[in-house]
Amino acid sequence: MAFKSFIPMAALCILASCNNSSKQNNAEGTTADSVQTSVMSFQDCDLTLGGIHFTKMLNGADKHVSEKDGIITFVAPEKTDLFIDPNDAKLTANTAKVLFAEVDNTKPFTFSARLKPGFTSDGLYHAADLIVMANDTLYQKFCFEQDERGKHRVVTVRTVGTSDDNNHEVVSQDFIYYKISSDTRTIASYYSLDGKEWQMVRLYRNNYPKDLKVGICSQAPQKGVCVSEFSELSLSTETVGDFRMGE
């Protein structure tokens, strides 16, 4: 979810450069709805955290992370989110700080981590996220998020031109294990309370292009700062053996 943002006028100045990107996405087999003008650009970075080499980022994310004793602390300033409102754009935001590792989507991959968001009493939509992104109009967020009633909830947000918003289980503990896995044809998201037994929450056709990014993000769409912790990060070139069981 998001609080308030706008599409900057500067986006009009990069229409020409975005056309080539849109044509490439269309050739890779994405849907027509996903071919829209990008309003953000990836920045280069060179950061290794949790054994993963992060080479791309959004919004200067490298200035908001640190690692100590295997725990990555990710600080999200107030009003930072990544969402494209399917209605009147009032909730659209592109302010989230995100770190990305690049993957070859023609090969299987599995990306997983233990997430502990900085939940607070008034931190509506505070979350820690795993993200799969081709560009800023074609991606998925996998969030452990605080909802309107203060509950901690598994949430998936898939953006193809605009974003959907799917709320899943409520989880009583303050941390969770997440996993996203692809066999090149199908991509699925799983959660676990103990890192051993997995529950599938979303599965869809993998029609992302060859060049893909997976990343971590802490978000604070409305009030206050969200300080999230990530640990046990893993990025492999393997897929789960059973897409229903996530194992």
In a domain, 117, yes or no: yes
| CA-based nearest residue to 231, from 189, 181, 176 | 176
The neighbour count for residue 83, using CB atoms within 10 Å, is 24
Tell me the average pLDDT across 131-148.
97
Q: How many CB atoms lie within 10 A of CB 97?
A: 24
Give a yes or no: residue 57 inside a domain. Answer: yes
The answer to whether 215 and 72 have CB atoms below 8 angstroms apart is no
245 domain-assigned: no
**Is the CB of residue 121 less than 8 Å from the CB of residue 113?**
no
| Domain extent at residue 90 | 9-236
pLDDT at position 27 over 90:
no
> Is 4 part of a structural domain of the chain?
no
Q: What is the structure's pLDDT at 155?
A: 98
By the 8 A CB rule, do 155 and 87 touch?
no
Structure confidence by residue, pLDDT tens digits, 156-208: 999 999 999 999 999 999 999 999 999 999 999 999 999 999 999 999 999 99
Distance CA 73, CA 231 (A): 9
Q: Does residue 243 lie within any of the structural domains?
A: no
Is residue 37 pLDDT above 80, yes or no?
no
Q: How far apart are CA 7 and CA 18, in angstroms?
A: 15
- Average pLDDT of span 25-42: 49
Residues 138, 79: Cα–Cα separation, whole Å: 22
Which three-class secondary structure state does DSSP give residue 201?
strand
Q: What is the pLDDT of residue 213?
A: 98
Whether pLDDT at 145 is above 70: yes
CA nearest to 84, candidates 162, 6, 176, 200: 162
- Number of domains making up the chain: 1
244 in a structural domain: no
- The yes-or-no verdict on residue 12 having pLDDT over 90 is no
Confidence of residue 227 (pLDDT cuts 50, 70, 90): very high
Over residues 208-228, mean pLDDT: 98
* pTM for the whole structure: 0.84
Q: Identify the CA nearest to 25 among candidates 208, 220, 245, 234.
A: 208
Higher-scoring residue by pLDDT: 31, 216: 216
List C-alpha distances in Å: 243 to 55, 129, 133, 231: 29, 21, 21, 24
Question: For residue 231, what pLDDT is reported?
Answer: 98
Tell me whether residue 247 is in a domain.
Answer: no
pLDDT of amino acid 40 = 76
Q: What is the CATH number of the domain that holds 142?
A: 2.60.120.200
For the stretch 38-71, pLDDT in tens is 567 899 999 999 999 999 999 999 999 999 999 9
Q: 123-162: string of b/e by CB count within 10 Å (b at 16+)?
A: bbbbbbbbbbbbbbbbbbbbbbbbeeeeebbbbbbbbbeb
Q: Is residue 193 part of a domain?
A: yes
Mean pLDDT for all residues in the chain: 88
**What's the CA gap between 233 and 241, in Å, rounded?**
20
Amino acid identity at 219 = Q
Q: What is the pLDDT of residue 15?
A: 35
> Using 50, 70 and 90 to split pLDDT, how confident is the model at 117?
very high
* Amino acid present at 133: M
pLDDT band at 95 (very low <50, low <70, confident <90, very high): very high
**Over the stretch 14-23, which tens digit does the pLDDT of each residue have?**
333 333 333 3
